[in-house]
């Protein structure tokens, strides 16, 4: 009997361990699981009480194959997708820059990204928030969908309460977004961006003339497809469309990442 209890004690400890471990290992409640306890990422798309797909979860952009990933490298916790470096990376023929925009991007290369707003802890803007290597969490309610970004502990709201887009929005980094469900696709329209937004590390610009349409589709439990169309006639000759494939990250949480906390880099930024 004593021996049996002795073997039980370590088993209990083992079972309890994850609960007391670091909070980023806390199992995400409501996640479908395989018999061995691992998350079943090919399970069906979850649905809300009103039967829309539930986009809620923590997501990361599908990383690039290692060799193509020149910006982030292959190591580290946060492998980026190629769109973080070049939002048109997987667009055949590249982005249809207007001449001034092409010149602008060309001029950034020798400056090694020192004019990038995020190098100065400015917001990334709505689109770049979807390509940033740190994770993002979507929370969905019937009237608003919110993206919480680990990068700089910031958020973006998408109103789904039927309101129209504003006629004369206050220009901002995130713009103003409304979403409507079309069958199982959430179609989000955004206006009200500000001039001076960078869409990627190379400096692909976005201006306040931009209109962005995003189509969110959660194809199963572990996969979220976001098709993004940017229509910015000031910076691009024609609208362009990219796909940002996001993968669910289970059993973790967003960490506090404050760009401006103990920031020592910007003073050392070099360039031409």
Contact set with another protein (CB under 8 A)? 19-23, 26, 29-30, 49, 120-123, 139, 141, 143-144, 146, 148, 152-155, 157, 161-164, 166-170, 172-174, 176, 253-256, 258, 260-261
Q: Which is nearer to another protein, 7 or 22 (CB)?
A: 22
CB closer to another protein, 103 vs 261:
261
Cβ distance 201 to 112 under 8 Å? no
Task: Give me 229's structure tokens.
Answer: 């169309």
CA–CA gap between residue 128 and residue 268 (Å, rounded): 24
Q: What minimum distance in Å lies between the beta carbon of 22 and another protein?
A: 6
Q: Which is nearer to another protein, 29 or 110 (CB)?
A: 29
Q: How far is the CB of 60 from another protein (least distance, A)?
A: 18
Contact 80, 69 (CB under 8 A): yes
β-pairing verdict for 144-149 and 154-159: antiparallel
If the CB atoms of residues 15 and 92 are measured against another protein, the closer one turns out to be 15
Residue 190 C-beta: closest distance to another protein, Å: 12
Q: Which of 226, 252, 185, 248 is nearest to 42 (CA)?
A: 248
- Kindly tell me which of 65 and 162 has the beta carbon lying closer to another protein: 162
Residue where the block lists tokens 């910006």: 71
Using the minimum distance from each CB to another protein, give the nearer residue, 41 or 254. Answer: 254
Instruction: Report the nearest approach of another protein to the CB of residue 257 (Å).
Output: 10
DSSP-H helix ranges across the chain: 2-20, 82-85, 99-108
Closest listed residue to residue 207, CA positions, set 225, 195, 219: 195
Shortest CB 76 distance to another protein, Å: 18
Shortest distance, CB of residue 231 to another protein, whole angstroms?
20
Taking the least distance from each CB to another protein, the nearer of 130 and 242 is: 130
Distance CA 168, CA 128 (A): 23
Residue among 35, 60, 61, 56 nearest 45 (CA): 56
Least separation, in Å, of the C-beta of 57 and another protein? 12
CB of 166 to another protein, least distance (A): 4
The C-alpha atoms of residue 40 and residue 222 are separated, in whole angstroms, by 8
161-200 CB burial, b ≥16 within 10 A, e <16 = eeeeeeeeeebebbbbbbbeeeeebbbbbbbbbbeebbbb
Q: Which is nearer to another protein, 174 or 246 (CB)?
A: 174
The Cα–Cα gap between 205 and 225 comes to 24
For residues 242 and 249, give the distance between their C-alpha atoms in angstroms, rounded to a whole number.
22
């Amino acid at each position: 009997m004593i021996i049996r209890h002795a073997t039980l004690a370590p088993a209990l400890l083992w079972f309890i361990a994850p609960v007391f471990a670091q909070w980023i290992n806390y199992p995400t409640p409501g996640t479908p699981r395989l018999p061995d306890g691992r998350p079943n990422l090919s399970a069906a798309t979850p649905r809300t009480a009103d039967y829309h797909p539930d986009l809620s979860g923590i997501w990361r952009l599908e990383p690039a194959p290692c060799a193509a990933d020149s910006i982030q490298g292959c190591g580290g916790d946060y492998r980026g997708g190629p769109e973080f470096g070049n939002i048109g990376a997987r667009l055949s023929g590249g982005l249809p820059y207007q001449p001034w925009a092409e010149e602008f991007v060309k001029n950034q290369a020798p400056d090694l990204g020192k004019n990038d707003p995020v190098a100065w802890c400015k917001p990334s803007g709505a689109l770049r928030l979807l390509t940033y290597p740190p994770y993002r969490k979507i929370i969905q309610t019937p009237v608003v969908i919110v993206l919480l970004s680990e990068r700089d502990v910031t958020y973006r709201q998408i109103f789904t309460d039927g309101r129209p887009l504003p006629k004369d929005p206050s220009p901002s980094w995130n713009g103003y977004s409304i979403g409507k469900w079309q069958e199982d696709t959430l179609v989000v329209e955004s206006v009200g961006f500000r001039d001076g937004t960078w869409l990627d590390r190379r400096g692909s610009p976005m201006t306040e003339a931009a209109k962005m349409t995003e189509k969110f589709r959660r194809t199963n439990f572990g996969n979220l497809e976001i098709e993004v169309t940017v229509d910015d006639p000031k910076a691009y000759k024609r609208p362009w469309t990219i796909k940002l494939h996001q993968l669910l990250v289970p059993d973790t949480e967003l960490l506090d990442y404050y760009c401006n906390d103990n920031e020592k880099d910007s003073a050392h930024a070099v360039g031409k």
